[in-house]
Chains A and B, each alone.
Chain A
Amino acid sequence: MEPKIVEKDQIILVGFSFYGDPFSESGGWTEENEIGRLWRRFEAFMIGNAGRIKHIKDPMVGYEVHVWSEETAAKGHSDVFAGMAVEKLEDVPMEVLVKILPPVTYAVFTLKGAQAITDWTKMVYEEWLPGSGYTPAYNYNIQRYDQRYKGVDQLDESEMEVHVPVKKAGDVSSGDL
């Protein structure tokens, strides 16, 4: 699976955040894991507060950002942010959080159907990256969902994108977050 290499400007996201093991089930009372709950929380906010978030770039595009740290390797804990991109920040409602991703080059992978639930991080970081001439630019990646993503119950007809921030191997200009 070959990625497209894309230069991107800074991305400004508004949404909600979770820290911990994002795949843990929430207390055993729902079937959802914490990522699912995060999205439900965001969707509920958007339905109840239409118009309060200004300058949304595209209401059909959702971003899920996973940021990792030392605790990720040790405990499986990471920071997950779910939200939408805005052109600029203006009168941001108190309830939502803002995440700003740096201008950087991304390797963009399109995952089709069941690829989304395969071990694609292994494919990206252990199979593609070592021979690509690139190294990770930051310790996060993005899962980007748009109209092509129909949901887990229609995974076969779905597509999503994974955006991996990269730099040319040997380039020291950007560093770890």
Chain B
Amino acid sequence: MSLAAICRALDFVEANLREEIAVADMADAAGYSLYHFCRTFNGLVHHTPYDYLMRRRLSESARELVETDKRIIDIAFDYRFNSPETYSRAFKRMFGTQPSQWKEHGRLDRRFLLPRLTPEHLEHVNEGDYLKPVLEERDAFCVAGVMTLVEDGGEIISRLWEVLAREVEGIEDAVYYGITWYPSGWEESGVFYMAGVEVEAVNDVNLGLVVKSIPPLKCARFVHKGSHDDLRLTLDYIYQTWLPKSGERLAYPLEVVSYGADMSVAWRNAELEVYIPIE
């Protein structure tokens, strides 16, 4: 079973998103019989080959829809849909709205686009236990910390954690959380990010911190293993593979990552928990 062969098929898909290709052509690119290709692909990618092809076409078409002036009908035919109606149905099935709505608002929600899967994605999803989330009810809880609007990730988030570490010095057994809220239009505005610790009550909090109270939630809890940098791969899996396959729907545009009690360990290479609120 070869990851390299599957990656040849993924490359082939990328090069031919606008061409009339079949799953049998993907198998040829991998160098396998159709039967063995489907067996291997499903086992490693966790999408059927056809599902992957359609989701990649829809994701790229959505990008063009929002980023260019092309007409919907032209985009539909470019990406090998038989008619604008077929395209709209497939689009709605994947994104929950009509293509015309996305075009009108000029908004792209990257969380829901299937990225071109890389060898890193495939290696990551095939070594982790987070493939099978636990569905559970979470009680309400309060988090005290620092929060900001994050436009381009990275640096500002590290600074939030540094500030938090100073402010909560001396708190024993704190459980650390990274909470992301995706406001509507977040691709332009950025996301709200909070670095915090769980607290019993609102009134025992240092005045320099803000408190966020999270209501009781029905959640899918995933375990992320590996480096913090790879959290992106886990989130891609959750939004792009698990969510559509499970048939669950997001209740809120909220991600809660629990780092446990020792931030210094969690940030490097340990187990994190990711909570996604579902309906």
Query: Interface extent on A, as a size class?
Result: 20 to 34
- B42 CB–A CB distance under 8 Å: yes
Q: Cβ of B34 and Cβ of A72 under 8 Å apart?
A: yes
Set of chain A residues within 8 Å of B1, measured between Cβ atoms: 117
Set of chain A residues within 8 Å of B34, measured between Cβ atoms: 72-73, 76, 121
Of residues 102 through 120 on chain A, the ones whose CB sits less than 8 Å from some CB of chain B are 117-120
Q: Cβ of B50 and Cβ of A75 under 8 Å apart?
A: yes
- A24 CB–B CB distance under 8 Å: yes
Q: Cβ of A125 and Cβ of B49 under 8 Å apart?
A: no
Set of chain B residues within 8 Å of A25, measured between Cβ atoms: 42, 46, 245
- B32 CB–A CB distance under 8 Å: yes
Of residues 50 through 88 on chain A, the ones whose CB sits less than 8 Å from some CB of chain B are 66, 72-77
Give the top 6 A-B pairs by smallest Cβ distance, nearest first: A73-B24, A23-B42, A119-B36, A122-B33, A121-B33, A21-B48
Q: Cβ of B42 and Cβ of A77 under 8 Å apart?
A: no
Q: Cβ of B33 and Cβ of A33 under 8 Å apart?
A: no
Once A21-B42, A23-B43, A27-B245 are accepted as A-B contacts, the answer to whether A74 and B23 lie under 8 Å apart by CB is yes
What per-residue 1/0 map shows which CB atoms of A19-34 lie under 8 Å from chain B? 0011111011100010
- B22 CB–A CB distance under 8 Å: yes
Once A27-B246, A119-B36, A125-B33 are accepted as A-B contacts, the answer to whether A74 and B22 lie under 8 Å apart by CB is yes
Of residues 111 through 132 on chain B, the ones whose CB sits less than 8 Å from some CB of chain A are 131-132
Q: Cβ of B35 and Cβ of A121 under 8 Å apart?
A: yes
Beta-carbon nearest neighbor of A26 in chain B? B245
Tell me the minimal C-beta distance from B101 to chain A in angstroms: 28
The docked-state distance in angstroms from the alpha carbon of A27 to that of B38 is: 17
Q: Cβ of B42 and Cβ of A24 under 8 Å apart?
A: yes
Beta-carbon nearest neighbor of A120 in chain B? B36
Set of chain A residues within 8 Å of B33, measured between Cβ atoms: 119, 121-122, 125-126
- B39 CB–A CB distance under 8 Å: yes
On B, residues with C-beta under 8 Å from A are 1, 22-24, 32-39, 41-43, 46, 48-51, 131-132, 241-242, 245-247
Most B CB atoms within 10 A — which of A23, A28, A76, A119? A76
Partner of A76, one of B38, B131, B242, B247: B38
Set of chain A residues within 8 Å of B35, measured between Cβ atoms: 66, 119, 121
Q: Cβ of B48 and Cβ of A76 under 8 Å apart?
A: yes
Set of chain B residues within 8 Å of A28, measured between Cβ atoms: 46, 131-132, 241-242, 245-246
Tell me the minimal C-beta distance from B42 to chain A in angstroms: 4
Tell me the minimal C-beta distance from B240 to chain A in angstroms: 12
Tell me the minimal C-beta distance from B125 to chain A in angstroms: 11
Set of chain A residues within 8 Å of B246, measured between Cβ atoms: 27-29
The docked-state distance in angstroms from the alpha carbon of A75 to that of B33 is: 14
Set of chain B residues within 8 Å of A24, measured between Cβ atoms: 42, 48, 51
Once A21-B42, A25-B245 are accepted as A-B contacts, the answer to whether A76 and B32 lie under 8 Å apart by CB is no
The docked-state distance in angstroms from the alpha carbon of A21 to that of B36 is: 12
Q: Cβ of B32 and Cβ of A119 under 8 Å apart?
A: yes
Tell me the minimal C-beta distance from A48 to chain B in angstroms: 28
Beta-carbon nearest neighbor of B48 in chain A? A21
Partner of B50, one of A33, A76, A119, A125: A76
Beta-carbon nearest neighbor of B54 in chain A? A75
| 26 residue pairs bridging A and B, Cβ less than 8 Å apart | A23-B41, A23-B42, A24-B42, A24-B51, A25-B42, A25-B46, A27-B245, A27-B246, A27-B247, A28-B46, A28-B242, A29-B246, A66-B35, A72-B24, A73-B34, A74-B22, A75-B22, A75-B23, A76-B34, A76-B48, A117-B1, A119-B35, A119-B36, A121-B33, A121-B35, A125-B33
